[in-house]
Structure 1
Amino acid sequence: MSSESAARGSTSGTPRGVPVVNVANALTVSRLAMVPFFLFALFWDGGQHAAWRWVAAAIFVVASITDRVDGELARRRGLVTDFGKIADPIADKALTGSALIGLSLLGDLPWWVTLVIIARELAVTGLRFWVIRHGVIPASRGGKLKTALQAVAIGLYLVPLGDAAELLRWTAMGAAVLATVVTGLDYVVRAVRLRAMGKRAMHS
């Protein structure tokens, strides 16, 4: 989940007067709508067509940009809605998950990388529901770094740069996986602490 998603989640309830149909939510929905087009471009000609790989990479970049913009708009313009809180992380995971799974299906990315990243995201989602009664854990700098590294690494695997870029791809993805695991463990620690504090507050 991105820092923008967390920013949305930090607001409890939808403020009165905020319409569900707004520019932030429209960007979120557009990101979700880009996923099938991204997959179409990625799998065209068995993923071996260079031009279509560039198209897939371009769609991924544009969708990733909307991930940053929609959250900023929601927070700065007071456009946070319950719909946005739900749809934003779904769109994030749909984009990243489809890219990782697609690359693994094409044999470009080892499955263990895809499984580690997706498992982490699902686990963190479960933790959020586990502590939701006690509060929301704010996004950390590590979380922002993790999101950026994942986007860069996936982008490098999408573009047809050939074997010359293999070391660069592996370096970027290795950094992304490391950040994914470390921030995941950090989230577990913070979730346990928040739940413990919440229980103490309830009994005090």
Structure 2
Amino acid sequence: MTDEPVTAPRPVPLNNPANLLTAVRIVLVPVFVVLVVVSGMTEPGWRMVACLTFCVASATDFADGWIARRYHLVTSFGKVADPIADKALTGSALVLLSAYDRLSWWITGLILLREWGVTALRFWVIRYGIIPASRGGKLKTALQIAAIAWFLWPVPEPFDAVGTVLMVAALLITMITGVDYVLQAVRIRRKATGRG
């Protein structure tokens, strides 16, 4: 039996397509905020531009994760910056919608509490394991994006009511998956510390 040399894992460069898309999303957040403020949620043209900017930024969220996993480009920067970029984008959109009286503040508050709470949970257990994104979590993200986009776009009545339906569905899935992530975090922590 011969001993074969153990090859070290190939280092992942920080400057890669996945991280670049995450950086683009971070840059687009203030651009999106400015566009919404300029629109005042009353100018249809500016609202459309703001909505398209939000959708492009949201698309980078799906693209950077897929590229990172598909081509083994996961980095420490990506693990930290990606969720922060996500929360900054959806969080700013929800706050702006509430500030312009398009969305109740309690809905924005509950969603933000869950989003930042789950992010804190991920960092709480990161030394013991990773809480993977579940199908419910992905559905939650898709519903939130769809609902926010519907509110941003100048949809005429009575079709604007669809945005409310989407947001209620997003809120329900957001809360349900939030509880699931808490249970996962507790299980990971207990298993790692020998208490489970």
Instruction: Quote the Cα distance in structure 1 between the aligned partners of 2:48 and 2:32.
Output: 10
Q: 1:156 aligns with which of 137, 150, 158?
A: 150
Question: Which runs of no fewer than 5 residues in structure 2 stay unpaired?
Answer: 1-8
Question: Which runs of no fewer than 5 residues in structure 1 stay unpaired?
Answer: 1-14
Report sequence identity in percent: 53
The structural deviation recorded for 1:158 is 0.5
Structure 1 pair 62/45, CA: closer, same or farther in 2 (3 Å)? closer
TM-score with structure 2 setting the length: 0.91
1:151-173 residue CA offsets vs partner (Å, 9 max, x unmatched): 10111110011331232111100
The structural deviation recorded for 1:120 is 0.2
Where in structure 1 do 4 or more consecutive aligned residues deviate above 3 Å? none
Higher normalized contact order (CA 8 Å, seq sep 6+, divided by chain length) = 1
1:65-95 residue CA offsets vs partner (Å, 9 max, x unmatched): 1111011111111111111111111111111
More off after superposition, 71-80 vs 130-139: 130-139
Instruction: Quote the Cα distance in structure 2 between the aligned partners of 1:16 and 1:88.
Output: 22
Instruction: Quote the Cα distance in structure 2 between the aligned partners of 1:45 and 1:144.
Output: 30
Give the match's secondary structure for 2:77: helix
Q: 1:124 aligns with which of 85, 104, 118?
A: 118
The one-letter amino acid paired with 1:177 is L
Instruction: Quote the Cα distance in structure 2 between the aligned partners of 1:164 and 1:72.
Output: 37
Residue 98 of structure 1 is matched in structure 2 by 92
* CA RMSD after TM alignment: 1.5
More off after superposition, 146-155 vs 74-83: 74-83
Q: 1:36 aligns with which of 22, 30, 36?
A: 30
Instruction: Quote the Cα distance in structure 1 between the aligned partners of 2:92 and 2:165.
Output: 21
Q: 2:163 aligns with which of 166, 169, 191?
A: 169
Matched, 1:141 2:135: yes
1:95-131 residue CA offsets vs partner (Å, 9 max, x unmatched): 1011001111111111111101100011111211222
CA contact (8 A) 2:83 2:119 kept: no
The one-letter amino acid paired with 1:136 is I
Q: 2:80 aligns with which of 67, 77, 86?
A: 86
TM-score with structure 1 setting the length: 0.88
Matched, 1:108 2:102: yes
The structural deviation recorded for 1:17 is 2.6
Residue 194 of structure 1 is matched in structure 2 by 188
Instruction: Quote the Cα distance in structure 2 between the aligned partners of 1:61 and 1:46.
Output: 19
The structural deviation recorded for 1:133 is 2.5
The one-letter amino acid paired with 2:14 is V
Instruction: Quote the Cα distance in structure 1 between the aligned partners of 2:48 and 2:181.
Output: 35
The structural deviation recorded for 1:45 is 4.3
Higher-helix-fraction structure: 1
User: Which protein shows a greater Rg?
Assistant: 2
1:135-185 residue CA offsets vs partner (Å, 9 max, x unmatched): 111111111110111010111110011331232111100000000000001
